[in-house]
């Protein structure tokens, strides 16, 4: 009973148009804000390279390196010539492999990054990480 009373008091303090506007925005934006990690593998593969990379990058940020590596590999190996996220995916794949302790896979990804994309914003960082891995 107390929770309903508090909710009613909050709702009474807002004008009807503000509540309806907030509800409308939620209903409009909620489907597109769904976390990508909850989508099926088929939905992810059918998405644009940008959407697939962003989904994988969110997994990296969340520390889900194994899942991120799988998704990043799919973006990296995508044969679509308009895929402009191959260099990003290659670098972050190396990062995930390094975090997972798979130094050989990380080294291969960083070497590919440096050789295929020397003008990428990640090239210098990949070169540094290669140097760090040489001692391991």
Name the architecture of domain 35-134: Alpha Horseshoe (1.25)
Encode pLDDT of 78-112 as tens digits: 888 788 999 999 999 999 999 999 999 999 999 99
Encode pLDDT of 21-58 as tens digits: 544 444 444 444 444 445 565 665 667 889 999 999 99
CATH 1.25.40.10 placement within the chain = 35-134
The answer to pTM > 0.85 is no
Task: Kindly report the three-state secondary structure assignment for every residue of the chain.
Answer: CHHHHHHHHHHHHCCHHHHHHHHHHHHHHCHHHCCHHHCCHHHHHHCCHHHHHHHHHHHHHCCCHHHHHHHHHHHHCCCCCCCCCHHHHHHHHHHHHHHCCCHHHHHHHHHHHHHHCCCCCCHHHHHHHHHHHHCC
pLDDT at position 95 is 97
């Amino acid at each position: 009973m107390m929770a309903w009373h508090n909710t009613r008091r909050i709702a009474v303090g807002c004008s009807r148009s503000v509540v309806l506007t907030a509800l409308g925005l939620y209903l409009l934006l909620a489907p597109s804000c769904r976390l990508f990690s909850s989508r099926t593998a088929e939905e992810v593969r059918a998405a644009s390279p940008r959407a697939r990379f962003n989904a994988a990058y969110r997994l990296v940020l969340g520390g889900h390196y194994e899942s991120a590596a799988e998704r990043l590999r799919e973006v990296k190996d995508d044969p679509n010539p308009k895929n402009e996220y191959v260099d990003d995916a290659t670098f972050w794949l190396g990062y995930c492999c390094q975090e997972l302790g798979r130094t050989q896979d990380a080294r291969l990804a960083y070497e590919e990054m440096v050789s295929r994309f020397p003008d990428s914003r990640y090239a210098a960082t990949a070169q540094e990480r290669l140097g760090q891995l040489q001692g391991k």
